Structure 1
């Protein structure tokens, strides 16, 4: 089993670290700021897991190890540039973030044939500041979907098939599944990422703009906006060969909003704490992709403008 190397000290990365600790998977964390790295995780059953001390700087990774980058899309380029000199053995790199655009950045810096995995997770985690330091709180049980975008088409239909042609990637997925299960292989990971994008495109900006929890998105007052976002998303996605149905997209958004009802979205939290948001990688990505196809997306365009106009 390879070792996991987790970049940053954010909520999801810290959750992976804590779950690795609990499940006996070797790992190290490399936060940007050592002072804000969580020291422990609090699980839903009341148990606490202490994290091992973080590492101050990158090291050269062997091919069998896995570098996980659970950062914002706008942080990805700087992180990859920092790690690039330490990736000479070509260990597996896992991109785990909201929004889109990370694959293009990674391919530009690593090349189109690098052993790369794209992942999206529905696990919920919150980084909490207390008088004794930073902790991470597990707020919602979920699953991680993962795929190999650089493997030659047609994509292997199963993890067993992937292991035949890319055993390094299959081994990395197995390690991640032991660290924070369940990890589900997706032969069409881009479809899964676009599905996640459709949810984020509705929940994130609306919760940020109206200062509300996810559950309030399901209220009738937001129906017209929800439907418009989903219709525009579907037009754009289908223009790129993805097969979505606007009604099903909207139903899925409502389902996720209710299932995560007590949570505050990541964009809400970014705005609340004066941080840069991921609006460019979510609704902004839809606008960019629509522009390339000549598709008008007024609702998404307005949301981008409104979120950027919020005072940080």
Structure 2
């Protein structure tokens, strides 16, 4: 089993670390700011998991190691450049972020044939500060992680057992992640899964941020026209790139996720609330950018990008 090296001190990365600790998987954490790195994680049943002391900086990785980057897309370039000198053995790199654009960043820096995995997770985690000034992470919702290998040449292995024959390093990395924070599900069509998540984020994130609301209010009647317009533009753009999304199904899925996560506040809502940079460029901005390349109008997504950026100034 390889060792996990988790970059950043955010909620999901800290949850992965805590679950790895709980399940006996070797790991280290590399936060940008050690002071804000969670010292422990609290499970839904009240169980508390203490985390290892964080590392001060990158270390040389072995081929069997796994470098996980659960970061914002806009943080990826700097993080990968920092780690590049330590990746001579070509350990597996896992990108795990909201929105899109990370694959392009990684390919530019690592090359199109690097052993790379893309992942998206529905596990819920919340990073909180305590009265004493320490930080902890709370496991707020059991989910699953979907993962795939975008750099493999076609035909893409359809099952994990097939991937083990073609790319054992990647299959073993997936197994290590599954041992850390299960379940981890291999997806041969990971890009389809990521575009599907993009459609959800494109509706929920900007609207909750702009209107200061919980996810459940996305289903309110006042947002019906906006929801439909966002999903319409998304479907046109995604299908122009070879996907096969149905607009009504996209909208149905958005509403389903909004209701299932109803009491939550989206990550973009929280970024605005705490004065942080948002991921609007990697979500609605990505749809706009890809639309331009195909000559497709995307006025609703363009407006959302402008409004969120105005709000975050």
**Does TM, scored on the shorter chain, surpass 0.5?**
yes
In the other structure, the counterpart of 1:115 is 115
Q: Partners in 2 of 1:311 and 1:51 — Cα distance?
A: 33
Secondary structure at the counterpart of residue 264 of structure 1: coil
Secondary structure at the counterpart of residue 118 of structure 2: strand
Deviation of 1:139 (Å): 1.2
Work out whether residues 140 and 260 of structure 1, in 8 Å CA contact, stay in contact via their aligned partners in 2.
Answer: no
In the other structure, the counterpart of 1:84 is 84
Deviations 1:29-66 (A, max 9, x none): 00000000000111111111111110000000000000
Q: Which runs of 4+ in 1 moved over 2 A?
A: none
Q: Partners in 2 of 1:242 and 1:35 — Cα distance?
A: 43
Q: Partners in 2 of 1:260 and 1:152 — Cα distance?
A: 36
Q: Partners in 2 of 1:112 and 1:167 — Cα distance?
A: 18
Secondary structure at the counterpart of residue 85 of structure 2: helix
Cα 1:311–1:74 change in 2 (3 A) is closer
Q: Partners in 1 of 2:163 and 2:15 — Cα distance?
A: 27
In structure 1, runs of 5+ residues without a counterpart are: none
Q: Partners in 2 of 1:62 and 1:119 — Cα distance?
A: 21
Work out whether residues 30 and 57 of structure 1, in 8 Å CA contact, stay in contact via their aligned partners in 2.
Answer: yes
In the other structure, the counterpart of 1:28 is 28
Work out whether residues 277 and 312 of structure 2, in 8 Å CA contact, stay in contact via their aligned partners in 1.
Answer: no
Normalising by structure 1, we get a TM-score of: 0.99
In structure 2, runs of 5+ residues without a counterpart are: none
In the other structure, the counterpart of 2:16 is 16
What value does the CA root-mean-square deviation take over the aligned residues? Answer: 0.6
Work out whether residues 39 and 51 of structure 2, in 8 Å CA contact, stay in contact via their aligned partners in 1.
Answer: yes
Normalising by structure 2, we get a TM-score of: 0.99
Q: Partners in 2 of 1:124 and 1:203 — Cα distance?
A: 16
In the other structure, the counterpart of 1:291 is 292
Deviation of 1:140 (Å): 1.2
The number of residues matched between the two structures is 312
Secondary structure at the counterpart of residue 205 of structure 2: helix
Q: Partners in 2 of 1:180 and 1:311 — Cα distance?
A: 33
Q: Partners in 1 of 2:41 and 2:253 — Cα distance?
A: 30
Q: Partners in 1 of 2:141 and 2:210 — Cα distance?
A: 23
